[in-house]
Structure 1
Amino acid sequence: MINDKLKGGIYVALGASSYGMLTTFVKMAYSEGFNTAEVTLSQYVLGAFGLLLLNQFGRKKHSPLVKSTTYTAIKLVLAGTSLGLTSVFLYLAMQYVSVSVGIVLLMQSVWMGVIVEMIIHKKLPGARKLLAVIIILGGTVLATALGQQSIRVSWAGIGWGLSAALAYTATMYSSNSVGLQFPPLKRSLLMISGGLIMIIVIFHAHINLDFSFRIFLRWGILLSLFGTILPPILLTRGMPLIDMGLGAIIVSLEIPVSVLMAFFLINERVSGLQWTGVFMILLAVVLMNIGKREPVPK
């Protein structure tokens, strides 16, 4: 059991770290002249293709899959549209803000999720969750440099980042409630397909003579691997081996990984106050989830 729990934690940590690398790769693609349409389309087209191949191989290797219904499959595709919106909004924010600020804005989905939970269950959150929300908001003010006059704040970037957090909240809710009887790889494929459809709807006008298909080989493989293929595989393998509280804490590794990747690869500087804000948000995630005891499947 100890070995399984350790293995699950490693899988979840690697999945979160994969997501954490994504925003830095997007920044690097932007620096080479690629735009949001090219970045998102290459990621989702190659990601959907990769997951399709994995589903085909998995179907041959594993036991017969649970019979799916067209209605549930359509619901998963529709749920995936919010995943596509998350990427679009986050990558638009990356045009205006740093990687560290972008990932902090995306993590506002933590307190947005608390509000969604309160609305659905019609019950006020406990004192510990309320305290965590306050810590997150305070940490966000520091991490986004809102209180530092020497740093220029992009309100457009903050707006797109908060929109990404809202879309991500919808994605997290739907991924935890829709089509749970489907195999993880099939669920991932259907949701990524929904995201791809949404991205094509948004950026169809950009697929013209000016569209640089070089993005598929230059950055598309990396973006799809770390953004749409590896994370669902690693997280769906790791999460069943550990309890949800510990899983949520480990997933928050995405924040420091993003900041460190940006520091080492694109020399993005983060002030001491911003680091304080980042650690406050991590503390809030731990506060919300520590002490949760959910049975781990044996």
Structure 2
Amino acid sequence: MLKYSFIVLLGACSYGVLSTFVKLAYGKGFTPTEVISSQFLVGWLSMAILYIFTQKQKIQGKTFIKLALVGTTICLTGTFYYLSLQTLPASIAIILLFQFTWIGIILESIHSKKKPQVKIIIALLLLFSGTLLAAGTIDVTATFSFSGILLGLLAALSFALFIFFSGKVATNIPSIQRSFYMTCGALLLALVLFPPTYFIQGTTDQGLVFYSLSLGILGIVLPTLLFAIGMPKIGSSLGSILGAAELPTAVIMSVVVLHEAVTLVQWLGVVLILIGIAYSQKKDQSFALQQHTHSTDHP
């Protein structure tokens, strides 16, 4: 279990690196359309190469459609989040995005018809408190548009759905094959929403390739593949908690790469998030006691 938790954690950290590369790309003058569509195109091409050289399992057309639909949630998450940033302060947008943690836990509870474990609830409270602190000071004088808030919540819902269905749909299929089919759905939607006009305009000659490769590998290939491997093993409740590693990664990257100032309060928030993630890995004492009793009764 710990191995698969670590795999999902790596996937979340990979997502956390994205904001830094997006900011760098925007600083070079590239538009959201250029960044997003090229990201998904490179991600799909990379997954296609892996798909060609790996073992494949024959599937029905409806299974491909299901996995492609799961992939559309990857595209929707980025799209809704980027659009929310146009009308909301970054601190508010981040807080709205991180609602995916409790949304994911509710989805899992409805599916399993079981209440969340106490440790998951405690970890969730730690994460939410840490997110409020790590997001930075909220500008109370800023005006918040209803559309921006709605888009931020839709980004959270999309990410929660991705985490949930990554561990539920066609889990018997090899992980690379599943991931490739997901990226097919993500690419198709991205090309519809953000047509790749940069091929006509010659933007690729201006350095877009570097950011496309970085965002495609870190934002599409790695998280999709790692979630496809780990999520079926750990479940979406724990997966939602581990997904919160995205924010501490984003904060650390902003300091190391972008040289942005981070306050002591924000670092405290990062620590709280990390504590929440670590606590979610704590084994239930009752389970451990049962295991101990079982071992003593059957030497």
Shorter-chain TM-score tier? 0.7 to 0.9
Partner of 1:29: 25
Contact 1:248 / 1:285 at 8 angstroms: preserved in 2? Answer: no
Residue in structure 2 matching 1:217, options 209, 216, 232:
209
Equivalent residue, structure 2, for 1:18: 14
CA contact (8 A) 1:89 1:161 kept: yes
SS at match of 1:58: coil
Opposite residue 196 of structure 1, the aligned amino acid is: L
Q: 1:287: which partner in 2?
A: 279
Matches of 1:128 and 1:274, distance apart in 2: 24
1:51 aligns with 2:43: no
Q: Does 1:80 align with 2:76?
A: no
Partner AA of 1:131 in structure 2? I
Question: Are the structure 2 counterparts of residues 157 and 146 from structure 1 closer, same or farther at C-alpha, using a change threshold of 3 Å?
Answer: farther
Q: How do residues 1-298 of structure 1 correspond to structure 2 at under 5 angstroms?
A: 14-59=10-55, 65-93=56-84, 97-98=89-90, 105-145=96-136, 159-204=150-195, 212-214=203-205, 216-234=208-226, 239=230, 252-291=244-283
| Secondary structure of 2:260 counterpart | coil
Paired residues of 1:92 and 1:160 also in contact (CA < 8 A): yes
- Partner amino acid for 2:282? I
Contact preservation (8 Å) 1:13, 1:251: yes
Change (3 A) 1:263 1:122: same
For the residue of structure 2 that corresponds to 1:92, the secondary structure is helix
CA distance in 2, matches of 1:11, 1:126: 22
Residues 141 and 277, structure 1, Cα contact 8 Å, conserved in 2? yes
Q: Gapped runs of 5+ residues in structure 2?
A: 289-299
Work out the CA distance in 1 between the residues paired with 2:115 and 2:94. Answer: 27
Letter of the 1:25 partner, please give it.
F
2 CA distance for matches of 1:210 and 1:270?
A: 38
The equivalent of 2:294 in structure 1 is none
Determine the C-alpha separation between the residues in 2 that align with 1:251 and 1:136: 10
Question: Alpha carbons of 1:40 and 1:211: their partners in 2 closer, same or farther (altered >3 Å)?
Answer: farther
* One-letter amino acid of the counterpart of residue 281, structure 1: I
Distance in 1 (CA, whole Å) between partners of 2:25 and 2:126 is 33
Q: Quickly say closer, same or farther: Cα 1:171–1:28, change in 2 above 3 A.
A: same
Secondary structure of 2:116's counterpart equals coil
Offset of residue 9 of structure 1: 7.4
Quick check: 2:198–2:204 contact (8 Å CA) kept in 1?
no
Residue 30 of structure 1 aligns with an amino acid whose one-letter code is Y
User: Residue 106 of structure 1 contacts residue 161 of structure 1 at CA under 8 Å; is this kept in 2?
Assistant: yes
- Whether the 8 Å CA contact 1:66–1:181 is kept in 2: the answer is no
**CA offsets 1:119-165 (integer angstroms, 9 cap, x no match):** 3334443444333333333333333346665x968667665443222
Contact 2:96 / 2:156 at 8 angstroms: preserved in 1? yes
- 1:36–1:106 distance in 2 versus 1, CA, 3 Å: same
Deviations 1:192-246 (A, max 9, x none): 1111112222224977966834464131111111112233445556x49x96799
Equivalent residue pairs, number: 281
Instruction: Note closer, same or farther for the CA distance 1:218–1:30 as it changes in structure 2 (3 Å cut).
Output: same
Contact 2:71 2:162 in 1 (8 A): yes
User: Do the aligned residues in 2 keep the contact of 1:93 with 1:160 (CA within 8 Å)?
Assistant: yes
RMSD across aligned positions (CA): 3.6
CA-CA distance at 1:71 after TM superposition: 1.0
Amino acid at match of 1:37: T
CA distance in 2, matches of 1:102, 1:187: 30
Aligned to 1:62: none
